[in-house]
């Protein structure tokens, strides 16, 4: 479709293959599938949930929130609060940050999901974006446990439209009226500019999250970085002084799945036994907005 090559994509980004949602799938259906798995692993019932928080940048529609659709699909009534967080690829880390603070005074459980169908907002003739992004979802249950704990979190943002989907939305120009698509109807990304931001954001995230968790770099047992580009993972590892075998990478198989990237990576690292009981796991992300965020989890048992 575009003037590119497998070699260019592998060398510049580390991506070899990606997953694209099937026509009958949606951001909500992927989110619900991930939610069901998380509930099963945590061994709790959907009715135990107090909040559902979905990080997404590609909702199936503008409103109602995808989180409310997940609530409905899980068969839940109105005993809980469900809402979306739009924070670029940092949506899941933002969700963890929010969930912990919501639950602190009251207890109970929150379901935090990252779900994105990037393939549906990409211009497949734009080689600067169409080779990089994929679709997926991941989920976690946050709640009282004697095993795992969140030991530090931060969130940050700054206005920068160099990665955006800036379809204007007003009474004269509704993106929902039939029209000929213009470039503004698709995701736009200034790759080199966002690369520079990402490298700085990764460094700043590691620094900030270690500060709030009162940890040194030597105490990092495992590092999960948003899978935007393999070279960015290497930069993060160098800054954190962590060898690459302690940094999870699945960008080769999924590309950049935005808000789903961190929870998918966390889940696979657990399944592969790379995250072990007692490990301090640093999770950081950066994304459109621009946003960046981080959480440190001390992991308990195999189910958390």
Q: How far is the CB of 8 from ligand ACO (least distance, A)?
A: 4
CB closer to ligand ACO out of 32 and 258: 258
Position 131 contacts ligand ACO (CB under 6 A)? yes
Give how many residues touch ligand ACO by CB under 6 A.
22
Report d(CA 201, CA 208) in Å as an integer.
10
Q: Which of 52, 76, 89, 237 binds ligand ACO (CB under 6 A)?
A: 89
Active site residue 226: yes
Helices 230-240 and 191-213: crossing angle in degrees, nearest 10, is: 30
Query: Is residue 12 at the binding interface for ligand ACO, with CB under 6 A as the rule?
Result: yes
Instruction: Tell me the C-alpha distance between 222 and 121, whole Å.
Output: 32
Shortest spacing between CB 62 and ligand ACO, in angstroms? 19
Q: Which of 30, 85, 140, 194 binds ligand ACO (CB under 6 A)?
A: 194
User: Distance between CA 285 and CA 108 in Å, rounded?
Assistant: 26
Asked if residue 233 binds ligand ACO (CB under 6 A), the reply is no
Q: Which is nearer to ligand ACO, 148 or 258 (CB)?
A: 258
**Positions of E strands within 56-108:** 81-85
107: alpha, beta or left? (left if phi > 0; alpha if psi -120 to 50): left
For this structure, is 173 an active site residue? no
Q: How far is the CB of 114 from ligand ACO (least distance, A)?
A: 11
d(CA 243, CA 226): 17
Residue 190 DSSP SS3: coil
Region binding ligand ACO by CB under 6 A among candidate stretches 92-100, 136-144, 170-178, 192-200: 192-200
Q: For residues 83 and 195, which CB has a smaller minimum distance to ligand ACO in the complex?
A: 195
> Binding of ligand ACO at residue 195 (CB under 6 A)?
yes
Per annotation, catalytic residue among 57, 226, 229, 267 = 226
Q: Which residues are 82's β-sheet partners?
A: 52
| Residue 98 dihedral angles phi and psi, to the nearest 5° | -65, -45
Which is nearer to ligand ACO, 226 or 280 (by Cβ)?
A: 226
Cα–Cα separations (whole angstroms), residue 291 to 53, 65, 183:
17, 20, 23
Of the candidates 137, 115, 109, the one whose C-alpha atom is nearest the C-alpha of residue 43 is 109
Binding site for ligand ACO (CB under 6 A): 4, 8, 12-13, 88-89, 127-128, 131, 163, 191-192, 194-195, 198, 228-229, 232, 256, 258, 287-288
Catalytic residues: 89, 226, 256
């Amino acid at each position: 479709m575009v003037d590119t090559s497998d070699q260019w994509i592998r060398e510049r980004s580390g991506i070899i293959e990606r997953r694209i949602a099937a026509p009958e799938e949606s951001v909500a259906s992927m989110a619900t599938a991930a939610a069901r798995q998380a509930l099963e692993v945590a061994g709790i019932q959907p009715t135990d949930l107090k909040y559902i928080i979905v990080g997404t940048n590609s909702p199936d529609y503008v409103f109602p929130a995808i989180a409310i659709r997940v609530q409905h699909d899980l068969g839940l009534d109105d005993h809980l609060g469900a809402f979306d967080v739009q924070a670029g690829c940092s949506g899941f880390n933002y969700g963890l940050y929010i969930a912990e603070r919501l639950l602190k005074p009251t207890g109970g459980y929150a379901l935090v999901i990252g779900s994105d169908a990037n393939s549906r907002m990409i211009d497949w003739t734009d080689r600067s974006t169409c080779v990089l992004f994929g679709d997926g979802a991941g989920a976690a249950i946050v709640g009282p446990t004697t095993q795992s704990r969140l030991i530090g979190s931060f969130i940050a943002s700054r206005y920068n439209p160099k990665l955006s989907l800036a379809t204007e939305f007003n009474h004269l120009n509704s993106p929902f009226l039939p029209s000929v698509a213009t470039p503004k109807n698709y995701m736009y990304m200034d790759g080199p500019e966002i690369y520079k931001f990402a490298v700085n954001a990764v460094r700043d995230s590691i620094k900030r999250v270690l500060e709030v968790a009162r940890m040194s770099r030597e105490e990092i047992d495992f590092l999960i970085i948003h899978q935007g580009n393999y070279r960015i993972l290497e930069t993060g590892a160098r800054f954190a002084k962590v060898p690459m075998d302690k940094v999870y990478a699945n960008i080769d198989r999924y590309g950049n799945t935005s808000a789903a990237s961190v929870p998918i990576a966390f889940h696979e690292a657990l399944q592969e036994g790379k995250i072990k009981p007692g490990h301090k796991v640093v999770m950081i992300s950066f994304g459109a907005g621009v946003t960046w965020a981080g959480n440190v989890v001390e992991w308990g048992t195999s189910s958390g």
